[in-house]
């Protein structure tokens, strides 16, 4: 079982929404890109919810989310995992959210991309941060078999947060 480590966050001083995954997939780690597996629906969902045409270029994707006040990171800093399935994650160690959220005080909304991210945060970090609103969303992973149209409908809560 391989030890893997998460990426640094995509964030800037204007970010007020933090979307947290569990930890990048094997393909994402190989490419050095968040949600780098083309079967993962994250970027398609984000563009659809925010009403913009999808962009293939990763740099444009990063710029797009920053323009909307969105940051991306992972709950898990490191773990052991065989393959890409969240169910194979062992010995997870969380990122340091106390320091992170103090460094980025504009973050008000914390959205979880899937149950694993949410449940790991609950167990390893906790929801005791003042002035933060937490929201669990369906996973954008291809392993989560909900139809993309249904995922998009649930992710539309993002619109409320980008405007607030």
pLDDT(103) > 70: yes
Q: What is the pTM of this model?
A: 0.95
Residues in CB range of 103: below 8 A, 6 or more apart:
none
Is-contact 54 81, C-beta < 8 A?
A: no
> What is the percent of the chain with per-residue pLDDT over 90, rounded to a whole number?
85
Query: Which residue, among 119, 133, 147, 102, has the nearest Cα to 21 in the 3D structure?
Result: 119
Note if 98 is an active site residue.
Answer: no
Averaged pLDDT of the chain: 94
CATH at residue 137: 3.40.470.10
SS3 state at 73: strand
Q: 37, 40, 95, 113: which one is catalytic?
A: 40
Sign of the CA dihedral with 51 first, then 53, 56, and 58 last: negative
Its domain, for residue 73, covers 2-163
Question: What is the CA angle 36-41-47, rounded to 5?
Answer: 100
**Structural domain count, the chain:** 1
Distance of CA 88 to the CA centre of its chain: 18
Q: What is the pLDDT of residues 15-73, one digit of tens each?
A: 999 999 999 999 999 999 999 999 999 999 999 999 999 999 999 999 999 999 999 99
């Amino acid at each position: 079982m391989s030890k893997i480590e998460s990426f640094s966050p995509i964030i800037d001083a204007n970010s007020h929404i933090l979307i947290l995954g569990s930890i990048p997939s094997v393909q994402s780690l190989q490419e050095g890109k968040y949600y780098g597996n083309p079967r993962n629906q994250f970027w398609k969902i984000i563009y659809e919810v925010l009403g913009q045409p999808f962009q293939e270029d990763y740099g444009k994707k990063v710029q797009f989310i920053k323009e909307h006040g969105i940051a991306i990171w992972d709950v898990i800093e490191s773990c052991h995992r065989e393959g890409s399935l969240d169910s194979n994650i062992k010995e997870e160690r969380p990122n340091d959210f106390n320091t992170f959220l103090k460094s980025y005080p504009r973050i008000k909304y914390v959205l979880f991309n899937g149950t694993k991210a949410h449940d790991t945060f609950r167990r390893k970090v906790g929801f005791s941060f003042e002035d933060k609103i937490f929201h669990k969303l369906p996973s954008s992973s291809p392993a989560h078999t909900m139809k993309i149209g249904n995922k998009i409908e649930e992710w539309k809560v993002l619109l409320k947060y980008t405007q607030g």
